[in-house]
Amino acid sequence: MFFILSKILSFVITPIIWIITLLLFAVFSKDEKRKRKSLVWALGLTLFFTNAFVFDECARMWEVPATRYENLKAYDYGIVLGGTSVNDEELNRVQFFRGMDRLIQAIDIYKRGYIKKIIFTSGSGRILKSDMKEAALVKPYLLKMGVAENDLIIENESQNTRENAVFTKKIIDSLQLKGGYLMITSAFHMRRGQACFKKVGIDSDSYSTDRYAGPRKFEFDHVFIPNVSAIHDWNNLIHEWMGYVTYKVMGYI
């Protein structure tokens, strides 16, 4: 039930839904004053959520800073959180998303010797086709990219970050794994990820990937010209904020 409710909430808190709702209210409202207010709010939200500079600044305050190679220690295990791909049934292959940076960076520091083994935790994050387990689908790709099978541990039953932590803890306990852990996930997701794992008894250092907020830019187009992709980026950031608050209320972190 929590999984389904979280998907519904993700839809409701999407900025484009707020804007469309205001526009529809303006179209069908018979009150001219409310109609104008709705249009003004719709325009204001559109300008706000399409401003790349504003998004970058908000993301910068939330994201966990990335770690440079020279500041990395040696770890026994790198824990990689899923959300990197989906199964393309038409082409019968895995289609990778932006989150794939989590795996690419994990492979990079694995080959550099900073982590000895990779724990990839990800089941299905979909309401339909819950039998499509991401970790199992991606495993062959990781092996082809040079990760030794003995150095790869997968967890493919989890549906969310809370379950990533719970099920990974079960594997760690069952295999009696010992050593230091490095969490590898998106910079905007790192706070919730580390908090969930700490709650179940797994302390880890952070290795943030696919950052939204890079170096601060003051170029004219970045500061003033609306960028439609910023709305999509806001979806992810707001989803993460709401996820963190919800997990806090539920006692998951």
155, β-bridge pairs: 121
pLDDT tens track for 189-232: 999 999 999 999 999 999 999 999 888 999 999 999 999 999 99
The residue ranking higher by pLDDT, 101 or 130, is 101
The tokens of 149 are what? 């099978």
Q: Domains plus CATH for the chain?
A: 2-63+226-250 (no CATH), 69-209 (3.40.50.620)
| pLDDT of 2 strictly over 90 | no
pLDDT tens track for 40-65: 999 999 999 999 999 999 999 999 99
Among 8-22, 101-115, 143-157, which is the least confidently predicted range? 8-22
The tokens of 114 are what? 């900073």
- Give the per-residue pLDDT at 127: 57
- Give the per-residue pLDDT at 7: 59
155 Cβ neighbours under 8 A, 6+ residues apart: 119, 120, 121, 122, 123, 135, 164, 167, 168, 171
- Average pLDDT in the 84-94 region? 86
